[in-house]
Structure 1
């Protein structure tokens, strides 16, 4: 069974599904759930856009914390900044996660070829088991 479950969350439908799956696993294992969101902005020259991304992350994570409390699962939340896959894998390593749960959006072949998905990059670099919810 899993003792340290980490969820990477980005407020998409796929990450909501990943949250539901991670929450169910945490309930079954009587384990806490740690949720990270990564704030980033394409507008590197302005701090305002990063501040807005950080605020949106915190808002989403507070909702998950309440949903965890309703399910009687302790949910710790954290907002990170930087490259999403790098920050997620680093958090899993730092927390000693034995399971990392991440959502995956179904995309067209063309969009997959144009840009590697965060989930794929996390899977390629994670040092623990990864569950992909899609």
Structure 2
């Protein structure tokens, strides 16, 4: 059997692939995992493109491309920065917030399918164990969801 980190990575990839397959089936824009990290990052705040790039671990240019796509599709809004004329704040639009709710429901559906495959008790045990491990490693200062490139 594979080591736990490999199993976690493969499981995340399998669920992510199913998630994006379903997005394609319903005809949404060609959203990629990087877009999802931006949605989560902007969920509770606004940020500049530089902030988004730092969060994603990509260049400002790569972050700008992602923001441009999300803006064209109506998921984010750019606003002037109050003190830096070269910068803009990026925030989620109503469409972006609605998408986050939709995505949460889709992830919940995939989690239910996992419970059907491995059993609800097993899934609960895995979730509890992972949460306890994160608490052990990070304490109350839990890191936000970030990509692992």
| Pairwise same-fold verdict (TM > 0.5) | no
Give the TM-score, by structure 1 length.
0.29
**TM-score relative to the length of structure 2:** 0.27
Structure number, greater radius of gyration: 2
Structure richer in strand, relative to its length: 1
